[in-house]
Amino acid sequence: MLQLQQLQLTHFRNYQQHNFQFDRNIVGICGANGVGKTNLIDAIYYLSFSKSYFSRTDASNVQHNLQGFRISGDYLLNQKNLNTTCIVRENNKKEFSFNKEEYTKFSEHIGKLPCVMIAPDDVELISGAAELRRKFIDVIISQINKDYLNAIIKYNQLLLQRNSILKKYPHQYDDALFSIITDQFIKSGDYIFKIRQQFLTSFLPKVIANYLLIAESEESIQAQYSSQLQQQPFKDLLKANQSNDFQLQRTTVGTHKDDIEFLLNNVKFKTIASQGQRKSLLFALKLSEWQTIQEHKGFYPILLLDDVFEKLDEHRMQNLLHMVTQNKASQIFITDTHLERLEHHLKNIEQPYQIVQLSSN
Ligand SMILES: Nc1ncnc2c1ncn2[C@@H]1O[C@H](COP(=O)(O)OP(=O)(O)OP(=O)(O)O)[C@@H](O)[C@H]1O
Ligand SMILES: [Mg+2]
């Protein structure tokens, strides 16, 4: 199992210098608004992904009026001690190391110390743009398939290059270069489509099953992968839309238009679902991510639950906590502003837990 045992924060957001020891699988983090609960679990996220979950720049995480920050975590993974350290220097240059060895490419770290975050604004994943759902899927697959992560990076580069050639049309347009880029673009799009299709065939049924477990109801919910590449091969699709691309000066078709569609009673989920249903679907997606990574790695990712008590009714909350703690093989961090509420939920789990109480000084 994967367990974070020690976390050291230096000049990271509101933490001047702080050392946390974690000796339980279940860790409650408690304190008033603005005390640093979200900052603490975002630091843990940083150590998994080399960046913030809340997509701020590295520089915005440096404590105000100071230069640079450092996050260091000591982990235990299957009886082995591991350390990961992230340093942002005074000039905003980032260094990231695993067991004292510095990475040249941060993407090599992705998937080594996996974690799954569930945060308040994540409900956007259900109601927001398709891009968020693509990113969600990409982050999961990237953690279990390095080639896929590289393919996504490559595809995005090629998309930019292709679009910049299209922008030069017709005056400075380079047809030979356009063909070379388009051929590579097709290869990487085909690969992404194939992997997404394979992955979602097993992932989406999990999401539905988890939704029904959390909701404890027989709601009719469906999930499907939707891609333009399902209609015709990518090569043909690009050809058919070529004149359109030239006119609009950008690539209008491809896997960068993919989405996952959810239906509730055969109607688009995001148009009819209640807030509670949206939240349940969000948790179902994240839990499926957590389970999928476990299946591939043989250990559970660390689960970071930020303010989840605000999101679900008591019954759904208990179902969720039961689901994530019953195997006793995953470390879970849960933040809350109310100590009694947090303790009430943690006691119900009937497993050892630790409470970290934060205060503003
Ligand atoms: N770069 C920074 N330097 C110093 N302080 C910062 C920085 N970025 C954020 N903060 C401070 O961190 C605090 C917010 O921390 P955080 O979001 O972790 O609070 P929280 O405990 O999760 O609160 P809530 O219960 O409202 O969610 C704010 O007081 C903010 O001023
Ligand atoms: Mg918070």
Q: What is the dihedral of CA 277, 280, 282, 288, to 10 degrees?
A: -140
Gap between the Cα atoms of 4 and 86, Å rounded: 15
CA 168 to chain CA centroid, Å, is 36
Ligand nearest to the CA of 32: 1
Fold designation for 123-297:
Glutathione S-transferase Yfyf (Class Pi); Chain A, domain 2 (1.20.1050)
CA 127 to chain CA centroid, Å, is 16
pLDDT at residue number 171: 84
Q: How many whole angstroms from 279 Cα to the centroid of ligand 2?
A: 17
The pick from 12, 15, 38 for probing ligand 1's pocket by mutation, whose C-beta has the most ligand atoms within 8 angstroms, reads 38
Token pair of 82 as six digits: 């591991």
Residue with the nearest Cα to atom 16 of ligand 1? Answer: 36
The pick from 7, 9, 10, 13 for probing ligand 1's pocket by mutation, whose C-beta has the most ligand atoms within 8 angstroms, reads 13
pLDDT at residue number 169: 87
Gap between the Cα atoms of 244 and 68, Å rounded: 47
Ligand 1 atom with minimal separation from the 32 CA: 25
Question: Fold match between 1-114+301-361 and 123-297?
Answer: no
Task: Per residue of the chain (361 residues), give pLDDT as tens.
Answer: 999 999 999 999 999 999 999 999 999 999 999 999 999 999 999 999 999 999 779 999 999 999 999 999 999 999 999 999 999 999 999 999 999 999 999 999 999 999 999 997 899 999 999 999 999 999 999 999 999 999 999 999 999 999 999 999 888 888 999 999 999 999 999 999 999 999 999 999 999 999 998 888 778 899 999 999 999 999 999 999 999 999 999 999 999 999 999 999 999 999 999 988 898 899 999 999 999 999 999 999 999 999 988 767 788 888 889 989 998 899 999 999 999 999 999 999 999 999 999 998 6
Gap between the Cα atoms of 24 and 76, Å rounded: 12
pLDDT at residue number 328: 87
Ligand 1 binding site (Cβ under 6 Å of any ligand atom): 13-14, 31, 33-39, 60-64, 337
pLDDT at residue number 320: 87
The pick from 9, 14, 122 for probing ligand 1's pocket by mutation, whose C-beta has the most ligand atoms within 8 angstroms, reads 14
Ligand 1 atom with minimal separation from the 40 CA: 18
Ligand 1 atom with minimal separation from the 36 CA: 18
Give the architecture-level CATH label for domain 1-114+301-361. 3-Layer(aba) Sandwich (3.40)
Amino acid at 312: L
Domain ranges in the chain are 1-114+301-361, 123-297
Q: How many whole angstroms from 48 Cα to the centroid of ligand 1?
A: 20
Residue with the nearest Cα to atom 12 of ligand 1? Answer: 14
**CA nearest to 71, candidates 45, 99, 106:** 45
Gap between the Cα atoms of 208 and 262, Å rounded: 10
pLDDT at residue number 314: 83
pLDDT at residue number 343: 95
